[in-house]
């Protein structure tokens, strides 16, 4: 069952997604070597609650934290811990909130200090692949057009491994609604996109092979070959000529930029 949203519901979804986006920025401000992923989680939780939201992942199927934080070869669903970040790490942060009964969901992969150029390229290509998919999220296209655009760009053009076991999804009063939005597939396949459909598009792209495994904590998904992985996600509303992106990276990228400028001054 697919729930198509009214324009009023889309505005509520935008509000939830903007809260997710601002939460990312609060966390981005303090990402640096030495901070623990648990500290980042606590900053996100207090901010979301201060802003009148509720962490969307906390308690979801028993997940105990506000953020999923996945370091280096961890793909998604990483658990915040006392692990200290180190120069050269990358961390994928996935954040969800509920506000006014609607979910927001967005993910971004951050650099900790200076990161190797080949890893920077993985991040750049994964983010670009997300936008390639979003370009296809318009009325009249099919889910497969979104999926195929991501696969063509990150997989065929850049030869990265695209995770298949985990996919994007509808977003609304539930965190995960129909339809599934895979990051690979054939053009023209899957359901036809209609106005009112709101989906999270979220490529998970590995520097090496696509294969993954679940760690013993029961949550963390990691690459099987131990190579780094990146994850970028936006929640978007399908529209006739151009998708309406309900989350934004604007705040978090402004925070990253001011972090870099600050470190140059010091």
Q: Which is nearer to Mg ion, 117 or 235 (CB)?
A: 235
The residue within the footprint of Mg ion, chosen from 94, 127, 197, 230 (CB under 5 A), is 94
List the interface residues with Mg ion, window 202-241 (CB under 5 A): 233
Q: Which is nearer to Mg ion, 252 or 258 (CB)?
A: 252
Q: Is 107 in the site for Mg ion (CB under 5 A)?
A: yes
The residue within the footprint of Mg ion, chosen from 41, 89, 105, 177 (CB under 5 A), is 105
SS3 for 77-111 is: CCCCCCCECCCCCEEEEEEEEEECCEEEEEEEEEE
The residue within the footprint of Mg ion, chosen from 18, 129, 200, 237 (CB under 5 A), is 200
Q: Which is nearer to Mg ion, 14 or 226 (CB)?
A: 14
Q: Which is nearer to Mg ion, 41 or 94 (CB)?
A: 94
CB of 21 to Mg ion, least distance (A): 12
Is the distance from CB of 197 to CB of 162 less than 8 angstroms? no
CB of 53 to Mg ion, least distance (A): 15
CB of 263 to Mg ion, least distance (A): 28
Is the distance from CB of 162 to CB of 150 less than 8 angstroms? yes
Residues that bind Mg ion (CB under 5 A): 94, 105, 107, 200, 233
């Amino acid at each position: 069952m697919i729930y198509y949203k009214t324009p009023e519901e889309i505005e509520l979804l935008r509000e939830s997604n903007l809260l997710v986006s601002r939460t990312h920025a609060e966390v981005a401000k303090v990402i640096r070597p030495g901070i623990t992923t648990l500290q980042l989680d606590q900053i996100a939780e207090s901010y979301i609650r201060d802003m009148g939201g509720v962490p969307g992942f906390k308690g979801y199927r028993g997940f105990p934290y506000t953020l999923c934080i996945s370091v280096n070869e961890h793909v998604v669903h990483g658990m915040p811990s006392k692990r200290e970040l180190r120069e050269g790490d990358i961390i994928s942060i996935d954040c969800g909130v509920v506000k006014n009964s609607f979910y927001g969901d967005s993910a971004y992969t951050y650099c900790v200090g200076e990161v190797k150029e080949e890893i920077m390229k993985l991040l750049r290509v994964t983010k670009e692949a997300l936008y390639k998919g979003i370009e296809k999220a318009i009325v009249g296209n099919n889910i497969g057009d979104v999926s195929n655009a991501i696969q063509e760009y990150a997989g065929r053009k850049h030869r990265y491994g695209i995770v298949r076991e985990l996919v994007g999804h509808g977003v609304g009063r539930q965190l995960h609604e129909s339809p599934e939005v895979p990051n690979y597939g054939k053009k023209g396949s899957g359901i036809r996109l209609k106005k009112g459909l709101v989906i999270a598009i979220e490529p998970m792209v590995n520097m090496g092979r696509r294969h993954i495994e679940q760690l013993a904590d029961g949550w963390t998904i990691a690459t099987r070959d131990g190579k780094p992985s990146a994850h970028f996600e936006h929640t978007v509303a399908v529209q006739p000529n151009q998708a309406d992106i309900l989350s934004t990276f604007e705040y978090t990228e402004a925070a990253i930029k001011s972090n870099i400028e600050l470190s140059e001054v010091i």
